[in-house]
A and B are shown apart, each in its own frame.
Chain A
Amino acid sequence: MHEQSLFASVPVHQHHELLQQLAGLTAMQPRHCLERRLIFKAYRKPGMAGRTGASQDLQQGDLQRLNKMLNGNMYYTQVVGPVSESDFGSTAPVDQDTQMAGMDDSKPYGSSSSPSYDYERQPWKLEFRDIPEAGTRSAVTSRLMSSATLPRGDVVQAMNAWGYNFVTEYVVEGDMFIHNDIAIFLHRVLHYPGGDELSLPRRQLPALKDMTLFEKSGSYVLQAFIIVQDGSNQETMKTASQHLFGLREQLKSAVLLEQADRLSLDTRAK
């Protein structure tokens, strides 16, 4: 699958107005999204790369092929999980012991149905994005992508086994609009408070108001994207970029949608 996108930067004072404009354009209410995003990095054992031991067993061609394969790119990839506002700052689901103890008095706001966040039931998706294609003639950011559902709960064990190490995590908050084939995501990045980097994803989330803005000014990123099933089909790719250009025209008076800098979207692991 390929993803074609255009980006725009939206200053915080324009955010509200743009939300309204987009709601009018797409004839829908914005859908608020909150996502945990875990970053994983592919690893390999030290000393593996670049080893070119000459051998009689292997044909020269095979060796070249192997070398090419072994020195291929490795990537960062994201594991994305939707969360809801009530998941933030809530406790883990109560265990029976604590439940017994704190039935009546010890709970500060008293209701037994206070929201809880259960990490073991958190759904996840593996979202991979390649570095954007270089030198494409059309003025959109086009990159290879894949998206796969993972089992709920703890993904780190499986990801480790698959060759990925957990690096860090952050949260994305924003609003989603759909305009025919185009998804329009107006979002910004939130960091966890404290900043002490844990080596594992959090099992509980801090209160949403304690999250800190990644971009201090609070500005948002507008990403308009279309996903194309078959990136080798030139016709569909062209259609997709035409649609994006159409949207760019429609939003011309509000925001300037443009191609992103290729290297800023580089996902390769060095």
Chain B
Amino acid sequence: MPITGVYFIPSNPNAATALQIITERLRAAFPNEELTPIGRWGLEQKLLRDTQGLLPSSNSNKKPSNPRYMQFLSLTHYPTHGFIYTAEPEKPTAAPIQNPNQGAPGPVNAIAPDHSPSPPMVMTTIPPSSYGTLFQHFTYACQPFWSHRLTLAVPNGIVYEVGDFRVRLGDVRQTFPTARVRGTVVEIEWRGPSVVEAIPVDREDGSFDVGVDAGGETDMDVEAAGIDLASSAIEESDIDAEYAATASLIREFWGRLGVEAREAILIPNVGKEVKDRLRRWKKAGSGVATGADTKVDGTGSVVGERAEEDPDPWSGADVARQFMEVLRFNR
């Protein structure tokens, strides 16, 4: 899961977007790089808001509480799952026990102290086939408390490779409730060596798979990343430092373009999944084969048998958070 930053440049409904300007600035700022598109990308975001406060309250002096949002996001560069990011209820009716993976509250927000008044958020990733189903479920069965406010899409984004960075550009269009242009979004992905990439992805059976790519090239990938470390050598503070360092690289990159924009890099909870992964890896690496029993007795389920297996369900959670952060227009 690479470290990324997302920038958003809003534009007026009838004016041209900043896409052209950014492309030109990119070309100007990196004259040594050949700026040829290496691919396309797309995004779709649906915003749901809780219904509280939709109706004007009769006693207007009552301070409306913070609205809660649920965001559905799908990115073409993470085709194995869609993201759902939901604000937790303010007063948790059933106190959600901290699941052990969340661990102590300290490190979660260590990257960027959460000063925003927004409630804590829950990130969920689900397979693409269930993504649409779940959205329909909320709009059908949860009408009294969730209302669909907005759909945004980047239908035709362009991907550039600039040095150690990969840049994704695209115009954001609103398709619901009315069609209009909202602005331009830029994702900057650091592709240089990184500690984060050295943490292996754990598979569904609990074992660890070095490198995400299949085939025999994994060794090379680790070498290419320049880092080949044992699990004990990486601490969570290293990850925080890595995020902070990469963020400054991304900011520097963006600074060379000189475009005013809304930024989302070190937002709350970024890096949470990476740390979870590190924690699991350390646990697995410390001598205990977690030995999740594989089901061999052939029992099935009415519902479970066609469930798609996602090799890395948490990949892209950071960038999804960043997109959601910049694309959450208060509606």
Residues of A at the B interface (CB closer than 8 Å) are: 31-35, 42-45, 48-49, 51, 53-55, 57-58, 63, 66, 69-75, 77, 80-86, 93-96, 99, 112-113, 115-116, 118, 120-121, 123, 125-128, 130, 144, 146-154, 156-158, 160-163, 165-166, 172, 176, 183, 185, 199-200
Contact = CB atoms under 8 A, between A and B. Distances in A.
Contacts of A70: 51, 54-55, 143-144
Interface string B177-216: 0000000000000000000000000001010000000000
A86 B305 CA distance: 18
Contacts of A113: 291, 293
A34 B96 CA distance: 26
A127 B303 contact: yes
Interface in B89-138: 89, 92-94, 96-97, 99-101, 121-122, 124-127, 129-131, 133-134, 136-138
25 contacts: A35-B304, A53-B55, A73-B141, A73-B144, A74-B144, A75-B141, A80-B304, A82-B301, A82-B304, A85-B297, A112-B291, A121-B204, A128-B141, A152-B204, A154-B99, A156-B94, A157-B96, A158-B122, A160-B88, A160-B89, A161-B87, A161-B89, A162-B70, A162-B86, A166-B94
A69 B305 CA distance: 35
Nearest to A268: B141
Contact of A126 (B51, B56, B134): B134
B176 interface: no
B68 to A, nearest CB: 8
Interface string B49-89: 00110111110000000000010000000000000101111
Contacts of A116: 291-293
B141 A148 contact: no
B295 A84 contact: yes
A66 B299 contact: no
Contacts of B283: 96
Contacts of A99: 288
Nearest 8 Cβ contacts at the A-B interface: A82-B301, A82-B304, A148-B130, A53-B58, A161-B86, A72-B143, A149-B130, A55-B56
B157 interface: no
| Centre residue among A31, A43, A72, A151 by max chain B CB count within 10 A | A151
A183 B301 CA distance: 12
B302 A35 contact: yes
A32 B206 contact: no
B298 A31 contact: yes
A116 B289 CA distance: 13
Contact of A96 (B129, B288, B308): B288
B99 A153 contact: yes
Given A63-B55, A74-B142, 18 more contacts: A32-B298, A43-B93, A69-B147, A70-B54, A82-B301, A113-B293, A118-B206, A121-B204, A121-B292, A125-B307, A147-B130, A148-B131, A150-B126, A158-B122, A160-B88, A162-B138, A183-B302, A199-B94
A66 B54 contact: yes
A154 B276 CA distance: 14
B124 A80 contact: no
Give the interface size class of chain B.
35 or more
Contact of B55 (A66, A82, A149): A66
A19 B282 CA distance: 48
A113 B296 CA distance: 13
A35 B51 CA distance: 34
Nearest to A130: B141
Nearest to B97: A200
A63 B308 CA distance: 42
Given A148-B126, A153-B99, A49 B303 contact: no
A74 B141 contact: yes
B303 A53 contact: no
B39 interface: no
Contacts of A146: 133-134, 136-137, 140
A190 to B, nearest CB: 15
Interface string B143-167: 1111100000000000000000000
B290 interface: yes
Contacts of B301: 33-35, 80-82
Contacts of A158: 84, 86, 122, 124
Nearest to B295: A84
A149 B308 contact: yes
B286 interface: yes
Given A42-B145, A162-B70, A157 B99 contact: yes
Given A96-B283, A176-B302, A58 B56 contact: yes
Contacts of B316: none
Interface in B235-293: 283, 286-288, 290-293
A69 B51 contact: yes
Nearest to A55: B56
Contacts of B307: 123, 125, 149
A160 B94 contact: yes
| Centre residue among B57, B84, B99, B302 by max chain A CB count within 10 A | B302
B300 interface: yes
A160 B92 contact: yes
Contact of B302 (A55, A66, A80, A166): A80
A100 to B, nearest CB: 9
